């Protein structure tokens, strides 16, 4: 169906039978790996590394060379979109990402352009094409984007935030302007992800990292509404193969039923909910991805295996589960512990299929 040597990930996302539960890790390509650190040391900043197509391809493939993973995710950053919209993205080694030209007024929102991803984000598309070529059909390639709400938080705050006072002030005092910005972002994300799909990704993931800071009504109005617009605007079939969509709203477990209604194929969940409960709540509408606490990988091999077993038992028999961490792998995780995690998912899950 998918013309891949290993299509477990795609089959599980579509709730089709698999031999074992597929597994990959959010942020699997990156800072916890010594081979990544070696490459990173040669670059002055993170953004220049993302824009180096050869290196971005090599980094994306590094985890597959080390582990028996069931998918590869492109190496990039969610903030490339606002950078392409002219906000001047930079990365500070101590403080993280920031923008030279954050959104401060309605005029800033009016100036936000609709871009051509093959122009302003050509380096991402070239990276996708190179990874796809080098994978040679080994496993599926996952593309991604941040959600409109999550991107907007960075664009208005100007950097990372703990209280999100600027974006929430806009949300409550000038919602019309915020909606205009979110709509522009949704349109650009549709263009961006469709370009990724045409360049070779076989599944896409929407990271709504900061959706969980909202109230229920605000989440539906300012985040979920635009996520549904994106899902409805994406190419769902490429080269005769269906392209699944995964949605991850960190801290959004209280809205699983609403999230399952927007047309995505799977929900990725964090570790604050029992995966069996999540499965019962969404029924057969979507698959579930998750959901081990990344901090478990600090523990002993025996404890890692125990935690994997608990999640598999909680999900129960049948397909529709992609094993993953509940968020990105921590930078100081031992690569050996990550290997134990991946191996135990495959070895322990066979009895559930």
Q: Which residue ranges are tagged as binding site?
A: 27-31, 77, 154, 209, 327
What are φ and ψ of residue 288, in 5° steps? -125, 135
Question: Crossing angle of helices 175-199/165-173, nearest 10°?
Answer: 120
Q: Is 40 a catalytic residue?
A: yes
108 is catalytic: no
Among residues 40, 129, 220, 281, which one is catalytic?
Answer: 40
- Residue 31 appears among annotated catalytic residues: yes
**Tokens found for residue 180:** 């205009």
Residue 154 is among the residues annotated as catalytic for this protein: yes
Active-site residue identified among 32, 154, 219, 226: 154
The answer to whether 66 is a known catalytic residue is no
> Which candidate in 8, 15, 27, 279 is catalytic?
27
Q: What is the C-alpha to C-alpha distance for residues 165 and 169, in angstroms, rounded to an integer?
A: 6
Q: Please tell me the distance from the alpha carbon of residue 110 to that of residue 311, in angstroms, as a whole number.
A: 47
**Is there a contact between 206 and 230 (Cβ–Cβ < 8 Å)?**
yes
Catalytic residue among 31, 66, 220, 281: 31
Given the DSSP bridges, would you call strands 89-92 and 241-242 parallel, antiparallel or unpaired?
Answer: unpaired
Binding site members for substrate: 27-31, 77, 154, 209, 327
Catalytic residue among 52, 77, 258, 293: 77
Helices 148-157 and 165-173: angle between axes, nearest 10 degrees: 110
- Is the bond leading into 291 cis (omega within 30 degrees of zero)? yes
**Residues acting as catalytic residues:** 27, 31, 40, 77, 154
């Amino acid at each position: 169906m998918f013309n891949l040597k290993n299509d477990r990930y795609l089959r599980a996302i579509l709730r089709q039978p698999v031999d074992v539960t597929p597994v990959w890790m959010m942020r699997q390509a990156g800072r916890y790996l010594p081979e990544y650190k070696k490459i990173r040391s040669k670059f002055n900043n993170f953004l220049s590394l993302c824009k180096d197509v050869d290196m971005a391809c090599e980094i994306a493939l590094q985890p597959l060379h080390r582990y028996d993973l069931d998918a590869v995710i492109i190496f990039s950053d969610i903030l490339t979109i606002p950078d392409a919209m002219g906000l001047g993205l930079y990365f500070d080694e101590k403080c993280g990402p920031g923008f030279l030209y954050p959104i401060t007024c309605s005029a800033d929102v009016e100036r936000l352009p609709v871009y051509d991803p093959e122009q302003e984000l050509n380096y991402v598309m070239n990276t996708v094409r190179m990874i796809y070529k080098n994978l040679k059909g080994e496993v599926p390639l996952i593309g991604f984007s941040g959600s409109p709400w999550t991107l907007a938080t960075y664009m208005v705050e100007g950097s990372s935030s703990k209280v999100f006072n600027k974006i929430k002030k806009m949300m409550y005092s000038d919602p019309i302007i915020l909606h205009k910005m979110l709509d522009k972002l949704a349109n650009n994300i549709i263009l961006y992800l469709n370009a990724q799909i045409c360049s070779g990704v076989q599944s896409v993931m929407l990271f709504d990292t900061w959706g969980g800071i909202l109230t229920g009504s605000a989440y539906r109005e300012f985040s979920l509404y635009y996520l549904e617009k994106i899902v409805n605007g994406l190419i769902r079939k490429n080269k005769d193969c269906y392209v699944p969509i995964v949605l991850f709203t960190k801290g959004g477990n209280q809205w699983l039923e609403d999230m399952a209604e927007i047309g995505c194929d799977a929900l990725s969940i964090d570790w604050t909910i029992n995966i069996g409960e999540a499965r019962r709540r969404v029924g057969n509408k979507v698959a579930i991805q998750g959901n081990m606490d990344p901090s478990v990988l600090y523990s002993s091999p025996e404890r890692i295996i125990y935690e994997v077993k608990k999640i598999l038992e909680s999900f129960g028999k049948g397909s529709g589960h992609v094993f993953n961490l509940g968020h990105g792998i921590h930078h100081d995780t031992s690569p050996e512990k990550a290997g134990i995690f991946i191996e135990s998912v495959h070895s322990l899950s066979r009895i559930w299929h």
